[in-house]
Amino acid sequence: MSILKRYAKVPALLTVAGLIAALPSPASAQGGINLVPWAGVYIPTRNEIGDLDNALSRDISVIGGARLTFWGTGRLGFEATGGYAPARISDETINETGNTDLLVASARLLLALSPVTNSVGFYIAAGPALLARGGNPFDEDRSSTDFGGTAGVGLRFALGESGRTALRLDIEDYFYNGDFGGGDDFQNDLVASLGLSIALGGRADSDEP
């Protein structure tokens, strides 16, 4: 009888072991990696360069790129962003235009001000940034790279109950010292963009912000 009782416990132990194996691990259940292709508008706030004899105007242009976002187990996340804008510049004295071919890259720390699993989420972000131009308004063969920073805010709107895809609205400010032919001057460039967030793996824990 003791042998039968011992073996009678085996199915129950196997069932418990199966349930434990089926539970998601904390890392996969609470983490989330997302790819976000995006497009938007590039807005230089300081759009006049030079003196009256050689005035240049930095025009508003389109911009597009992609983000790779990781949300951890709490309110903090990390994001790498890359984008390209033609960044048109016009010469007001002779009414000519040209592109400076601006490449932007940033590594941002994200802070969720609402749980990332909410159907609507709000977050702020900041981090270092690089801005590389393929041409100079006064010398098309001379490129330049500026190091600066970026800060911004964003909204995330989940699509469907799973929330594995979402729309993102981001507004970013890139600040740096840029030389557009008249020496280094402090610049503020705004980027307003709309993106589609696509989950690549994991998910955010519904019990954690």
Q: Which residues contact 89 (CB under 8 A, 6 or more apart)?
A: 49, 56, 57, 58, 59, 97, 98, 99, 100, 137, 180
- Give CA–CA dist 38/54, Å, rounded: 35
Question: Domains in the chain, ordered, with CATH?
Answer: 29-202 (2.40.160.20)
* Residue 136 DSSP one-character state: B
Other Cβ atoms within 10 Å of 42 Cβ, number: 25
Q: What is the pLDDT along the chain (209 residues), one digit of tens a residue?
A: 444 444 444 444 444 444 333 333 333 333 489 999 999 999 988 755 555 445 567 788 999 999 999 987 678 999 999 999 987 776 655 445 567 788 999 999 999 998 877 889 999 999 999 998 876 555 555 567 889 999 999 999 998 877 788 999 999 999 988 766 656 678 889 999 999 999 987 655 544 43
pLDDT at residue 6, rounded to an integer = 45
Other Cβ atoms within 10 Å of 66 Cβ, number: 13
